Amino acid sequence: MTRRPAATSIRKRIAVATGVAVVAAGTFALGAGVAGADSASKSEKHTGTVTKAQVLGLFDQWNAALRTGDPNKVADLYAKDAVLLPTVSDNVRTDRAEIVDYFEHFLQNRPVGKKIESVVNVLDRDTVIDTGVYEFALTDHETGEKATVKARYTYAYEKQPNGKWLIVNHHSSKMPQG
Each residue's pLDDT tens digit in the chain (178 positions)?
A: 544 445 444 444 444 444 434 333 343 333 434 344 443 334 333 447 889 999 999 999 999 999 999 999 999 999 999 999 999 899 999 999 999 999 999 999 999 999 999 999 999 999 999 999 999 999 998 999 999 999 999 999 999 999 999 999 999 999 987 5
pLDDT for the residue numbered 49: 83
Provide the terminal-to-terminal Cα distance of the chain, rounded to the nearest Å: 98
Please give the Cα distance from 106 to 88 (Å, whole number): 8
pLDDT for the residue numbered 19: 43
Which has the closest alpha carbon to 150: 114, 102, 118?
114
Please give the Cα distance from 51 to 56 (Å, whole number): 9
Residues 6+ apart with CB under 8 A from 5: none
pLDDT for the residue numbered 88: 86
Most distant CA atoms of the chain, gap in Å: 114
pLDDT for the residue numbered 8: 45
